[in-house]
Amino acid sequence: MYSFYWPWVFALLPLPLLIKLLPRVKQASITTIEAPFLDDLFGQKQAQNHGRTSWLNWLPWLLLILTISRPQWIGEPIPLPVEGRDLMLAIDISGSMEQQDMMINGRAVDRLTAVKKVAGEFIERRVGDRIGLILFGENAYLQAPLTFDRETVKTLLYEAAIGLAGKSTAIGDSIGLAVKKARENEQGNRVLIVLTDGQNTAGAIEPLKAAELARAESLKVYTIGVGADQMVVNSFFGGQRTINPSSDLDEATLRRIAAITEGQYFRARDTKELEQIYVILDELEPLAEEEQFYRPTKELYFWPLAGVLMTLFFTLWLRRLQ
């Protein structure tokens, strides 16, 4: 659409009339500067300039006002690119994740099922981020590269099975794999969320060494230790006893990994705590800003300016003919 950057300039249109109405100062000793175009503008020289009409006299002034108002053509809104995060999830699918010490809707479920539910909702909320998925057990595997296709990542998470990557836990290798992918995608705001219920018992790289590599690549790591502190089980002799199903969880190492990479460590003893952790992660790593737009603007002032010059040259040419 057309617009004017300074529309208030049009208030100057009657200025020649106001100047003409001002009382003249009669001082013979003062040399005055005449503006002959005003006489032309108000038709006082029509008798000497038969070839000109009133609209031609007004046209330069109108075009000049139009030039000063800065006419513009404003195009259609164009969306600006939104900067999100490269967010990689590393999920433990080792044998210990089959421990049924989590609850969903009053029903006992294994740890991986609870993680799938909560992490799936987290993925769904991360609009504007590129999401990737690493599954690790005895080995670490890239299940989904960084992508904006959140539905595919969520589907691959739901298809993960306990023991698919082996029974042991390679926390260091999962971080190392994330570091490798971070090097391939040199962008800012890179985040890794590592969720595990145990300690590093396999892999080629130690977790703290992997954390140092992550820090060198500006990869922030958040660690989550999942699993209940207490669980009542039947004893061999028919009674019941209370055990700690998370006795193998290496919280010290997980805290150290987070500290080295300027992330944080969280403890999820049940599904509710796990949900709260992912809400906190949303706050710590905010979603990308809402989509913004800009409208391309093309200046048009040079067209009326050219009209002013052409009209003045045409007026001078008419005068030379008289």
**pLDDT at residue 288 in the model:** 57
Maximum Cα–Cα distance for the chain, whole Å?
Answer: 129
Query: Measured between alpha carbons, how far is 17 from 67 in angstroms, rounded to an integer?
Result: 20
237 pLDDT tier (thresholds 50, 70, 90): low
Q: Is 18 exposed, middle or buried (0-12, 13-18, 19+ CB in 10 A)?
A: exposed
Q: Of the segments 162-176, 231-245, 281-295, which one has the largest average pLDDT value?
A: 162-176
Query: Measured between alpha carbons, how far is 139 from 135 in angstroms, rounded to an integer?
Result: 8
253 pLDDT tier (thresholds 50, 70, 90): very high
Q: Whole-number mean pLDDT of the chain?
A: 81
Are 223 and 194 a contacting pair, CB within 8 Å? Answer: yes
42 pLDDT tier (thresholds 50, 70, 90): very low
More confident residue, 209 or 291: 209
Instruction: Give the pLDDT mean for 113-126.
Output: 91
Q: Does the pTM exceed 0.85?
A: no
- Which residue intervals of the chain are DSSP H helices? 15-21, 36-41, 54-68, 111-125, 150-158, 171-184, 207-216, 251-260, 271-284, 302-321
Query: Measured between alpha carbons, how far is 118 from 144 in angstroms, rounded to an integer?
Result: 18
At 33, the amino acid letter reads I
Provide the residue count of the chain: 322
More confident residue, 285 or 260: 260
Instruction: Give the pLDDT mean for 115-135.
Output: 90
30 pLDDT tier (thresholds 50, 70, 90): very low
Instruction: Give the pLDDT mean for 99-112.
Output: 88
15 pLDDT tier (thresholds 50, 70, 90): confident
**pLDDT at residue 57 in the model:** 67
User: Could you tell me the domains of the chain?
Assistant: 2-76+295-321 (no CATH), 86-284 (3.40.50.410)
306 pLDDT above the threshold of 90: no
- Report pLDDT digits (tens) over 131-176: 999 999 999 999 999 998 999 999 999 999 998 888 899 999 999 9
**pLDDT at residue 238 in the model:** 62
266 pLDDT above the threshold of 60: yes
Write the CB contacts of 306 (distance below 8 Å, at least 6 apart in sequence).
none
177 pLDDT above the threshold of 90: yes
Instruction: Give the pLDDT mean for 18-23.
Output: 72
**pLDDT at residue 47 in the model:** 43
| Separation of first and last alpha carbons in the chain | 43
The 3-state DSSP class for residue 221 equals strand
**Cβ–Cβ contacts within 10 Å for residue 198, how many?**
21
At 271, the amino acid letter reads T
The count of C-alpha atoms lying within 13 angstroms of the C-alpha of 57, restricted to the half-sphere facing its C-beta, is 18
